[in-house]
Amino acid sequence: MPLVDNAVYRDGHRIQTPHTLEETYALNRAEEGMAWIGLYRPTREELRSVAAEFELHHLAVEDAEVGHQRAKLERYGDTLFVVLRPARYLDAEEEVEFGELHVFIGPDFVVTVRHAEAPDMREIRKRMEANPELLALGPEAVLYAIFDHVVDGYEPVVNGLAHDIDEIEDQLFGDADDDALTRRIYDLSREVISFQRAVHPLVEMLQALHRGAGRYGVDIELQRSLRDVLDNVTRVVERADSFRALLENALQVQSTLVTRAMTRESVQQNEQMKKISAWAAILFAPSLIGAIYGMNFDAMPELHWPLGYPLAILAMIVLAVVLYLVFRRRHWL
């Protein structure tokens, strides 16, 4: 169902749960309370109905309808339009899964539009309804609670990424397969970059909310709560930035280790080739003499000399020894 939850509040308490959007509009006007409408993948007609009732800007409505938006905060008159990218970490796949939440905040209404399962808006609504004093502060309090919930959800993502980066650092000097480790570092770097894109804009968004809080009469305690969320976001951003730096360093170290291993292997192969070449040369000299005197020609020097055979053997031995000493001196053997 696109309409997940729909209620009208007054003084921090739910006074009624209408079954249709039209009932919500009428009740909200009559009670002069705050309408909180939760939509999940709404139809175009539902979005246009909400937009017409609360005079939402058409550009913001188009963004909410299409989805796939970056995290941002925009103000259209008395209405705030906020896009958040909640996240959760899939440890087995080493991937960050992102949701998308669009929030419209006006003087007497809150409209949330989700295009994914996360975040669970029921938890946020339950928390706010359990704290009527906070909910009585109006739509800004609901926006604070949404920000706080999304930012709290980033903590498990940070912990999951940190755990996998620790594993990579252990593998760097271990016996891990080089290709697999390089691929793991690259894939995790890509997830960290996507996470950065989701959390970085929140710093500027919360700072803008804090700067405009006095102008729009936001409660002082609510301002302090927003500053606390800003502090948490700043820590998350710093951790995400450090993760990217660590993975870039890990990739450089891995590249250096692979290059060093290839160089070492090349040197070892070169040493082996030297040994093979040296022994081939040592064996070639006696073989050459033997091959020449094994041709069985009658007119060959010293062929019928009694000392020819011993001298041929001696020449083979001397040549082999001389070549061995030469190669040994040059460290080929």
In this prediction, residue 267 carries a pLDDT of 58
List C-alpha distances in Å: 204 to 73, 192, 233, 237: 9, 19, 10, 12
What is the identity of the amino acid at 298? D
In this prediction, residue 103 carries a pLDDT of 96
Percent of all residues in the chain with a pLDDT value above 70, rounded to a whole number: 84
For residues 30 and 82, what is the distance between their CA atoms, to the nearest angstrom?
27
In this prediction, residue 193 carries a pLDDT of 93
In this prediction, residue 275 carries a pLDDT of 74
Please say whether the beta carbons of 136 and 115 come within 8 A: no
In this prediction, residue 301 carries a pLDDT of 61
Percent of all residues in the chain with a pLDDT value above 90, rounded to a whole number: 44
In this prediction, residue 329 carries a pLDDT of 77
For residues 139 and 287, what is the distance between their CA atoms, to the nearest angstrom?
98
In this prediction, residue 71 carries a pLDDT of 92
Residue 113 has pLDDT above 90, yes or no: yes
By CB atoms closer than 10 A (0-12, 13-18, 19+), residue 279 is: middle
Residue 305 has pLDDT above 70, yes or no: no
* pLDDT, tens only, 138-164: 999 999 999 999 999 999 999 999 999
For residues 52 and 292, what is the distance between their CA atoms, to the nearest angstrom?
106
> pTM for the whole thing?
0.76
* pLDDT, tens only, 2-21: 667 889 999 999 998 888 89
Q: Which of 19-33, 64-78, 98-112, 306-320 ranks highest by mean pLDDT? A: 98-112
- Residue 76: beta bridge partners? 79
Q: Which letter does DSSP use for residue 131 in this model?
A: -
H helices of the chain, in order, are 21-31, 44-54, 58-66, 121-129, 132-135, 139-172, 178-213, 220-292, 308-329
Average pLDDT, the chain: 84
Question: Got the DSSP string for 90-114?
Answer: ETTTTEEEE--EEEEEETTEEEEEE
Look up residue 176 and give its two tokens: 């891990």
Contacts of 249 (CB under 8 A, 6+ apart): none
Once rounded to an integer, what is the mean pLDDT over residues 266-287? 70
Residue 168 has pLDDT above 90, yes or no: no
Mapped onto helix, strand or coil, the DSSP state of residue 295 is coil
Residue 1 has pLDDT above 60, yes or no: no
For residues 136 and 158, what is the distance between their CA atoms, to the nearest angstrom?
33
For residues 76 and 60, what is the distance between their CA atoms, to the nearest angstrom?
9
In this prediction, residue 202 carries a pLDDT of 95
Q: How many CA atoms lie within 13 A of 105 on its CB side?
A: 22
Q: Which letter does DSSP use for residue 19 in this model?
A: S
Nearest to 245 by CA among 202, 193, 284: 193
Please say whether the beta carbons of 226 and 210 come within 8 A: yes
269: phi then psi, degrees, rounded to nearest 5: -65, -35
In this prediction, residue 266 carries a pLDDT of 64
Residue 297 has pLDDT above 60, yes or no: no
In this prediction, residue 269 carries a pLDDT of 66
What is the identity of the amino acid at 111? V
By CB atoms closer than 10 A (0-12, 13-18, 19+), residue 292 is: exposed
Inter-residue long-range contacts of 283-286, CB under 8 Å, 24+ positions, other chains counted: 283/320, 285/316, 285/319, 285/320, 285/323, 286/316, 286/317, 286/319, 286/320
Please say whether the beta carbons of 37 and 20 come within 8 A: no
Query: Residue written as tokens 């970085």?
Result: 200
Radius of gyration in angstroms for the set of CA atoms belonging to the chain, rounded to a whole number = 38
What domains can be seen in the chain, in order of their start residue? 3-259 (3.30.460.20), 263-329 (1.20.58.340)
For residues 57 and 255, what is the distance between their CA atoms, to the nearest angstrom?
51
For residues 248 and 188, what is the distance between their CA atoms, to the nearest angstrom?
10
Residue 246 has pLDDT above 60, yes or no: yes
Confidence of residue 125 (pLDDT cuts 50, 70, 90): very high
Once rounded to an integer, what is the mean pLDDT over residues 94-122? 89
Mapped onto helix, strand or coil, the DSSP state of residue 306 is coil
Once rounded to an integer, what is the mean pLDDT over residues 181-199? 90
